[in-house]
Amino acid sequence: MTLKDRITEDMKVAMRAKDAPRLLTIRGLLAALKQREVDERIVLDDAAVVAIVDKLVKQRKDSIAQFGAGGRQDLVDKEAAELVVLEGYLPQRLGAEEIQAEVAALVSELGAAGPADMGRTMAAAKARFSGRAEMSLVSAAVKSALTR
């Protein structure tokens, strides 16, 4: 079963359970998936679905920070609930230590040395860590590895 099929099944379960907040989040996710398929005239594979979910997770985190700064706890709670649902569709995230180790291996594979190789290293890291790690943590690990 593909990730997209699993999301569709979860929508049906949420409809049967009359779980309105979860259903709204899943419908929004499916709308984003369908929009991408229509715009690019493609059928999304699991990697593309994970990329879209990752983008939506990042949007929710940004919204939580903004609403928190604005004192809108009701909206923070709503976004946090959506965030939990969306994170359920992401693969297991790597921890900081695992990211550091994989980045060190990547830097040695590429023969990167110094800040001048940041772009090339980040391009390779983005391909390797897509959906498995938060890219801000990866970026920090790459900067750290290249400045040693």
**Domain spans of the chain, in order of start:** 3-87, 96-146
Q: How many CB atoms lie within 10 A of CB 1?
A: 7
| CATH number belonging to domain 3-87 | 1.10.1510.10
pLDDT digits (tens, 9 = 90+) for 16-39: 999 999 999 999 999 999 999 999
Residue with tokens 């999304």: 44
C-alpha distances in Å from residue 74, one per residue of 68, 78, 83, 85: 9, 6, 14, 17
What is the structure's pLDDT at 146? 84
Residue 60 has pLDDT above 90, yes or no: yes
- CA 29, 92, 110, 97: dihedral to nearest 10 degrees? 130
pLDDT by residue (tens digit) across 82-92? 999 999 998 88
What is the dotted CATH code of the domain comprising 96-146? 1.10.10.410
φ, ψ (nearest 5 deg) of residue 65: -65, -45
Q: Using the predicted structure, report yes or no on whether residue 43 has a pLDDT greater than 90.
A: yes
Write down the mean pLDDT value for the chain. Answer: 91
- pTM of the predicted protein model: 0.79
What percent of the chain is predicted at pLDDT more than 70? 100
**What pLDDT does residue 34 have?**
97
Q: How far apart are CA 94 and CA 97, in angstroms?
A: 8
